[in-house]
Amino acid sequence: MAPSMLKLSRPLMLVGHIILLVTALSIIAPLILVLGTSFKPANEIYGGLPWPRKFTLQNYYDVFEKLPFGRYLWNSLATTTLRVGGQLLIALFAAYAFARYNFPGRGLLFALVLGAMMIPPQLTFLPIYLLINKLGWFDTWAGLIVPNLAMPLAVFLLRQHLLAFPKELYDAAAMDGANELRILWSVVLPNIKPVMAALTVVLFVDCWNEYFWPLVITETDHAMTVQIGIRRFLDAERGDDLGPLMAAVTLISLPALAVFFACQRQIIQTFVSVGIKG
């Protein structure tokens, strides 16, 4: 963080601390409560204490007992991994073409990329839904993955980084006898590892947390992801499901939070810079 640049007067500073503390607490407290509740036995759930007196994993067993939560997790994990992998690869190819080659129509094509960034996918879900049905991909992994493989934001970001890449290195590699894929894999990729890593995290969290598209395109356990599956605990609306619900909430929030606590600084940085460019 930059060194302090503005010295506020003491009373003002105090007000600031109080407001921030309250805000931070309003965020952290519910999360701690969720975590605590997920470890509580059924008879403690409605007690006032934030933390269990008797620690139990029963709620976590129940999550998998009462619903095919393992299947949801597997669907989420597999489709997210495949989708993010595909997004990165396709975006890298496109960004490479934009940054490396001068071809007729490049400007127009790039304008279309920028334009695609402006079109909310929630506006176009209807024709896509009809198309996916026609293809027989309703309620399948393919239906979840394929319509989302092209990621204009990723192309935009990677292109910017590749434009700063020294062009002579492409030529040197070509002279060394590397073909285009080899140049991309052995020369370009190792030099943009940090961006790729950052982008991977952002895309992963984005996809893992996605709600709208899985809601539209999945129906059964066959393809349902955790974000949709968890609603089943809610629909039940029976009191004794609160424990498993909180356990499920904890489970599905864990991957993103784990990455976050592993490398906090970079993650914040990454999200902010992607947010700013997006």
By CB under 8 A, the residues from 122 to 161 that bind other proteins are 122-131, 146-150, 152, 155
175 binds other proteins (CB under 8 A): yes
Q: Which of 88, 182, 200, 266 binds other proteins (CB under 8 A)?
A: 182
Q: Where are the alpha helices (DSSP H) in the chain?
A: 10-38, 58-66, 69-100, 106-118, 125-134, 141-145, 152-163, 167-175, 180-182, 189-191, 193-208, 212-217, 226-229, 231-236, 242-262, 264-277
With CB under 8 A as the contact rule, which of the stretches 23-31, 52-60, 67-75, 77-85 interacts with other proteins?
A: 23-31
Binding mask 224-253 for other proteins (x = CB under 8 A): ---x--xx--x----x--x--xx--x--xx
178 binds other proteins (CB under 8 A): yes
With CB under 8 A as the contact rule, which of the stretches 51-59, 66-74, 120-128, 156-164 interacts with other proteins?
A: 120-128
Q: Which of 144, 199, 203, 205 binds other proteins (CB under 8 A)?
A: 205
Which two three-digit tokens encode residue 30?
Answer: 């519910």
CB 145 within 8 A of CB 86: yes
In total, the chain counts a number of residues equal to 278
- Smallest separation (angstroms) from other proteins to the CB of 277: 10
CB 202 within 8 A of CB 274: yes
The dihedral built from the CA positions of residue 36, 41, 47 and 51, taken in this order, carries a sign that is negative
Please list every residue from 50 through 89 that binds other proteins, using CB under 8 A: none
197 binds other proteins (CB under 8 A): no
220 binds other proteins (CB under 8 A): no
